[in-house]
Amino acid sequence: MASTSSGQANDVKFEDIAEGDTVTTPTASMLQSILNISVHGDDVFSEDTTTNNLESFIVSLTGKPAACFVMSGTMGNQVSIRSHLTQPPHSIVMDSRCHIFNYEASGAAVLSQAQMITVKPANDKYLTLEEIKASIVDSDDIHYAPTRLICLENTINGVIIPKEEIKRISEFAKEKDIKLHLDGARLWNVVAAGGGDLKEIVSYFDSVSLCFSKGLGAPMGSIVVGEKDFIRRVRHFRKMVGGATRQIGIATAPARTAVEEVFLGGKLARTHELAKRLESSWIDLGGTLKFPCHTNMVWLDLESVGINEGDIPIEAKKAGLKWDYERIVVHHQICDDAIKKLEGVLERLVENARSRGGVQSFDVPKMARYSRRVDQDLA
């Protein structure tokens, strides 16, 4: 089950179904791309051909004038934010659910001394221009921190921001002389799902960070694209945080293979189809979704069926799957058999809930995603 006839054992993964697309592993061809490097140069001096080639390749794909490879999505966002901003006080407007605000260790506050203004979208899916207009600080009153940057995330929770909305926000930002950054860790999915042309979407932003590691399955790395002057600043701050590295071709070669094989090779479409299939299985069981399924994520509304979240890892484990909570993320290494097993798990979770009378029975308070219970700290 875990291997294919071609012997590429890591091309089809059975476990880790829904833990996230962070569990993707380098394929045989990605590993081979490292062995194929003939000369390993020093990227601190921009003398590594493999890395330079990756950066020009991404320049040609996205249409932005320059690109800089970074170690992670977090580094991409943080050096971009730092490069856009100059002298505090200043503020950044963003979606309250976004990665930059929630999961980057408060980097924008520390590294850029920025006030983060978070907005919860009323439609529960994406920020609108009207909401952004109502949230920016557009004043030189000395009480306030003027907004110099707006950050969007696309997809956010697997949901695609309509291109028309991005365009409106972009025009507004230009008019106000506010920079616009995109956390495009999952922008590949937007394009694969028909949410717009890569070059066109990127053209609405001053900078975009794209991830090689999540859905594309490269072992590590992200890339930032923007104007030449901006990327020069990115390189400076990347150096400052220790992200300029020597023979990094060992990461940039597989990153390129990942873009070619998984994105250009069309493998994301299958992950979207499988997510749709799981969505309809869930709906057939009487469930509803928390967010629409546009790409590779399925957000189950557990309360719609009365499922106790604590049951998920238990039932998943019985079926040989690893899955913890309401979110399911399909990645390119999931085999069809794992999806079938997951459907079985969904059925059993619903059966268990029904046999309890469909009544909510959360015996412990629901924890925030990254919180730990006191007993876990003591263990």
Which residue ranges make up the site for ligand PLP (CB under 6 A)? Answer: 72-74, 77, 99, 153, 183, 185-186, 211, 213-214, 222
Instruction: Using only the alpha carbons of the chain, give its radius of gyration.
Output: 22
> What are the angstrom distances between the C-alpha of 168 and each of 125, 171, 173, 195, 377?
17, 5, 9, 16, 47
Nearest distance in Å: CB 354, ligand PLP: 34
Task: Rank residues 48 and 183 by Cβ distance to ligand PLP and give the closer one.
Answer: 183
Nearest distance in Å: CB 209, ligand PLP: 7
Nearest distance in Å: CB 107, ligand PLP: 10
Instruction: Give CA–CA dist 95/132, Å, rounded.
Output: 9
Instruction: Give CA–CA dist 361/153, Å, rounded.
Output: 34
DSSP string, 323-371: --SSEEE--TTB-HHHHHHHHHHHHHHHHHHHHTTS-----SPPPPTT-
Residue whose beta carbon is closest to ligand PLP: 73
Nearest distance in Å: CB 115, ligand PLP: 20
Instruction: Give CA–CA dist 21/23, Å, rounded.
Output: 5
* The 297-301 sheet, strands edge to edge: 288-289, 297-301, 327-329
Nearest distance in Å: CB 104, ligand PLP: 7
Task: Rank residues 128 and 157 by Cβ distance to ligand PLP and give the closer one.
Answer: 157
Task: Rank residues 204 and 287 by Cβ distance to ligand PLP and give the closer one.
Answer: 204
Task: Rank residues 83 and 281 by Cβ distance to ligand PLP and give the closer one.
Answer: 83
- Which H helix or E strand runs over 205? none
Task: Rank residues 211 and 302 by Cβ distance to ligand PLP and give the closer one.
Answer: 211
CB 165 within 8 A of CB 142: no
The amino acid occupying position 316 is A
Nearest distance in Å: CB 347, ligand PLP: 29
Task: Rank residues 188 and 287 by Cβ distance to ligand PLP and give the closer one.
Answer: 188
Burial class of residue 53, CB neighbours in 10 A (0-12, 13-18, 19+): middle
Instruction: Give CA–CA dist 64/58, Å, rounded.
Output: 8
DSSP string, 33-100: HHHT------GGGT--HHHHHHHHHHHHHH--SEEEEESSHHHHHHHHHHHH--SSS-EEEEETT-HH
Nearest distance in Å: CB 75, ligand PLP: 7
Task: Rank residues 186 and 294 by Cβ distance to ligand PLP and give the closer one.
Answer: 186
Instruction: Give CA–CA dist 345/49, Å, rounded.
Output: 48
Task: Rank residues 208 and 349 by Cβ distance to ligand PLP and give the closer one.
Answer: 208
Nearest distance in Å: CB 72, ligand PLP: 3
Nearest distance in Å: CB 99, ligand PLP: 3
Nearest C-alpha neighbor of 234 from the set 110, 85, 90: 85
Task: Rank residues 51 and 213 by Cβ distance to ligand PLP and give the closer one.
Answer: 213
3-class DSSP state for residue 265?
coil
